Structure 1
Amino acid sequence: MSDLVLAVPSKGRLQEQALEFFTRSGLKIDRARGGRDYRGAVGGLEGVEVVFLSASEIARELAAGNAHMGLTGLDLVHETLDDPHERATRVHLVAPLGFGPADVVVAVPSRWIDVDTMADLADAAEMHRVRHGRTLRVATKFVNLTRRHFAAAGCADYRIVESLGATEGAPAAGTADLVVDITTTGATLAANQLKILSDGVILSSQATVVASRVASWSCRASALATTIADRIAAEMRAQAVLELRAILPDPATAAACAAERYGAVAPFGAAPAPLTLHVPRRRASECAAYLRSCGAAAVVIVQVADVYEDNELTDALLAALPPTRD
């Protein structure tokens, strides 16, 4: 019997990226029967059952408490739990992972040259009703996000046409007048002669690890969640930094200056030789040149695999989980 249920996307690019990320984090997921089964396990971590679901199902199962943790798009979490208070009480956003970026946007036909903002759209909706005797039709899969965004913008004269296929093609097909859709580059929208309103980005989404606050949490499940969060945090920290090593005549001064100038951290202090610094990737070369100017005969830059340390990610997860049942 499993202690913790971890939901992972069942197909597509998001699944590929998720499995790659978990593997890098020391959480390699083993799927039975060559990928045909919808159940799996995490190698070396007993008690975790992996379930493969669609990204939208993952958001719903977390909200219902049927899974303890999962990886899905932030857009789907907000669509499933569109009320901020309900969202905060039912799920905890553990960590955004930096892949699977996409925006939920409002896009109108490019020929609507006088419509550039949501306020313009509200005016256009009123005129459309007067001229054509009907409301504007908005094609979307994001019903809740659309309603909340349109209400906040004071746009009420519209009706939603739920999209079952390629949303961006609805205006050309004549089934809708505009769309609320998800896009990465905007190229597909542009290819369908649609433009994004200047204030039409409803939500910037990315792949996110989410924990359910309404699932049944045992002490064992909580401990497993902590292990998963620790490994995710270690991988994310490793991806954010490069490690610099150098022998210096005055390592303490160099470490202090590197911290101030480049955001460098000396995880083992300034005393050990060689001096070891963790530096944001974009500043690593600058910091290496600085260490050379401080007297280092050589500076070695190393890609680290994981960085385990106390982290806010795990602390926040534990604070968000309900009391355990045993």
Structure 2
Amino acid sequence: MTLRFAIPSKGSLYDGTIAFLESAGLRVSRPNPRRYTASIRALPGADVLLHRPTDIVEKVAAGEIDLGISGLDLVEELHGDRDDLIVLFDDLGYGAAELVVAVPETWIDVTSWHDLADLAVELHSQGRLLRIATKYPSLTRRFCYANGINYFRLVESQGATEAAPGLGYADIIVDITETGVTLRDNQLKIVGDPILRTQACLIASRRCLRANPAALEATRTVLELVEARRRARRFVQVTANIAGESAEDVGRRVAARPDLAGVQGPTIALVWPSTPRAVGVSGWYMVTLLVPQERVLDLAAHLRRLGGDTIAVMPAQYVFDSTCSSYERLIALLEEQT
């Protein structure tokens, strides 16, 4: 076994993880949906384990799993001061949600965290504490103390947290939301900015990767593919045929707009004619550029003005840099004294 790699076992985080890994060339093979082990052909010898997202964080922190994917909210809630858990990517691009404070809609005078702090003081003067239902006690406690909410009691909630104020066993809640619809359905409103913006993240065990060179090398494969895939999301590859006297002539005209000349400039190649050209007739050249997605229409207009024809746009699958910066960061973290 070269690597113990844990991914979520079910739900939207499982679906997002499977789709993301496949897009990065790390297709998960799970012949039986009831099995909690799988494999990835690009990681020979690796064990792919399917666990609950909370268990993944705990097992990585405890050194029982080398690498895992979970939610950043769970990492922030559960890792505590355990330095063996390190975050390799905190934004894989799916599973986005926000940890928010929500109060009853009828509390029209409560519109900010400062209002909550004042309310907590008022309730304390009446002999009781502000009751907060949450599945995130550590994050909630840190949030309260950081914002002057000093008189409160946490009410543990393992399900349907948004129902707590309506049922009377809490005053407000701190919970994860994707759209806010469930909160509104339960007559709650969000107060203040999100405590935390979360999405799927990639985590690793410092202790395990230090002790197992094979696991570290397999992790490098994962980081190379994931980093290149994430970078590729920002770019498209554009090709066009442009007539010109020479490759230099076409290149100069394309590069006259440096903002549309590609990451490192255009690549120019002679198009072999399907029929012999007459003497004195310009040749055709294929221009290839890698540009940010948001510039594709501007680039198409620029190429048209140059007489461009057959303009094709293709999504980039991978964009590798000269080095894998995430792997270099990992090595630096492993070399730190803890």
Match of 2:186 in 1: 192
Greater alpha carbon shift after TM alignment, 144-153 vs 111-120: 111-120
CA contact (8 A) 2:72 2:90 kept: no
Q: Secondary structure at the match of 1:230?
A: helix
- For structure 1, the residue ranges without an aligned partner over 5 or more in a row are none
User: Of residues 276, 289, 308 in structure 2, which corresponds to 1:277?
Assistant: 289
| Kept after mapping to 1: 8 A contact 2:121/2:151 | yes
Output the TM-score relative to the length of structure 2: 0.86
The 8 Å contact of residues 106 and 179 in structure 1, kept in 2 or not, is answered as yes
Q: Deviation of residue 9 (structure 1)?
A: 0.1
Aligned to 1:14: 13
Equivalent-residue separation in structure 2 for 1:285 and 1:240 (angstroms): 15
**Residue 45, structure 1, aligned to residue 43, structure 2:** yes
- Greater gyration radius: 2
Contact persistence 1:244–1:301 (CA under 8 A): yes
Bigger mean CA deviation after superposition, 172-181 or 58-67: 58-67
User: Do the aligned residues in 2 keep the contact of 1:94 with 1:317 (CA within 8 Å)?
Assistant: no
C-alpha displacement of 1:152:
0.6
Select the residue among 295, 318, 327 that pairs with 1:306. Answer: 318
Question: In the alignment, does 2:205 pair up with 1:206?
Answer: no
CA distance in 2, matches of 1:135, 1:232: 46
Per the TM alignment, residue 192 of structure 1 is displaced from its structure 2 partner at its CA by: 0.9
Deviation at 1:238, TM superposition (A): 2.6
Contact 1:143 1:160 in 2 (8 A): yes
Identical amino acids, percent of aligned pairs: 37
Structure 1 residue 264 corresponds to structure 2 residue 257:
no
- Give how far 1:315 is off: 2.6
The number of residue pairs the alignment matches comes to: 314
The structure richer in helix per residue is 1
Picking from 274, 295, 308, the partner of 1:296 is: 308
State how far apart, in whole Å, the 1-side matches of 2:261 and 2:100 are: 35
* Structure 2 segments unaligned to the other structure (5+ residues): 271-285
The alignment's TM-score, normalised by the length of structure 1, stands at: 0.89
Instruction: State how 1:77-92 maps to structure 2 within 5 Å.
Output: 77-82=75-80, 86=82, 90-92=85-87
User: Which letter maps to 1:53?
Assistant: H
Letter of the structure 2 residue corresponding to residue 312 of structure 1:
S
Name the amino acid aligned to 2:28.
Answer: I
Change (3 A) 1:318 1:94: farther
8 Å CA contact retained: 2:101, 2:192: no
Distance 1:121 1:172 in 2: 18
Deviations, residues 39-78 of structure 1 (Å, cap 9, x unaligned): 1111242121111011111111122222111111111110
1:266: how far off?
4.1
Name the CA shift for 1:127/1:76 in 2 (closer, same or farther; >3 Å): same
Decide whether aligned partners of structure 1 residues 318 and 295 sit closer, same or farther in structure 2, where only a CA change above 3 A counts: farther
CA distance in 2: counterparts of 1:152 and 1:257, whole angstroms = 53
